[in-house]
Amino acid sequence: MRQAGAEGFDGFVAARWSALIHLARLLCGGDRHRAEDLLQEALVKLWFVWPRIADEAPEAYVRKVLARAAARSARRRWWGERPVDELPDLAQVGDESATVVERSRLEAALAQLPPRQRAAVVLRYYQDLPEKQVAEVLGCPLGTARSHASRGVARLRQILAVVVEPVE
């Protein structure tokens, strides 16, 4: 019995790892290391409840744990300087580089949102969850979840409205 449950859990993690790590990274504002830590924490919690929810909605459970853990850790986080591996080079223009630059811009803009707004925007528009499910994941009323998502999108539009002019 324990072995069969472990195989199901391992299969779930193997199948959904890339999507879950991407979700965690977006919820963490692009911080890959923090995202890995949060996902590991969420998967540990999932392991303990796996026998009960394996046949129901394990991904929804992980999303809920990730969103709440990201919001909780953001409240404790120091918001000073953030070191990066490389400085962004906006001068590169090309098919792939333009996509990467735009994705980086979006991740940086998401990182500027408050944790609950960021979680609402990511869950609603990236994960394409219905508003009711976003509210359940965030543990708040439907109207509050709508408000977080609306304000988050409005703030993203303000942040992203700044036009980056190419360097020639």
pLDDT score of 89:
65
Averages of pLDDT over each 10 residues, the chain, 168 residues: 67 92 87 88 91 88 88 63 67 66 87 92 90 91 94 92 60
pLDDT score for 1: 39
CA distance 24 to 32: 8
On whether residue 166 sits in a domain, the answer given is: no
Note whether residue 152 is domain-resident. yes
The answer as to whether 85 is a domain residue is no
Whether residue 84 lies inside any domain: the answer is: no
Q: Is 69 part of any domain?
A: yes
CA distance 76 to 164: 32
Which pLDDT score, from 0 to 100, does residue 7 have? 75
What one-letter code names the amino acid at 168?
E
Range of the domain at 37: 2-75+92-160
Q: Which long-range contacts (CB under 8 A, 24 or more apart) does 20-25 make?
A: 20/59, 20/62, 20/66, 23/63, 23/66, 23/122, 23/126, 23/127, 24/66, 24/70, 25/107
| Overall pTM surpassing 0.75 (yes/no) | no
In a domain, 145, yes or no: yes
Number of domains, the chain: 1
> Is there a domain that residue 81 lies in?
no
Dist CA 74 CA 70 (whole Å): 6
124: tokens are 């609603």
The answer to the question of residue 63 being in a domain is yes
Instruction: Kindly calculate the radius of gyration of the chain based on its CA atoms and give it in whole angstroms.
Output: 18
**Any idea what the CATH number is for the domain that residue 71 is in?**
1.20.140.160
Residues in contact with 15: Cβ distance below 8 Å, sequence separation at least 6, in sequence order:
none
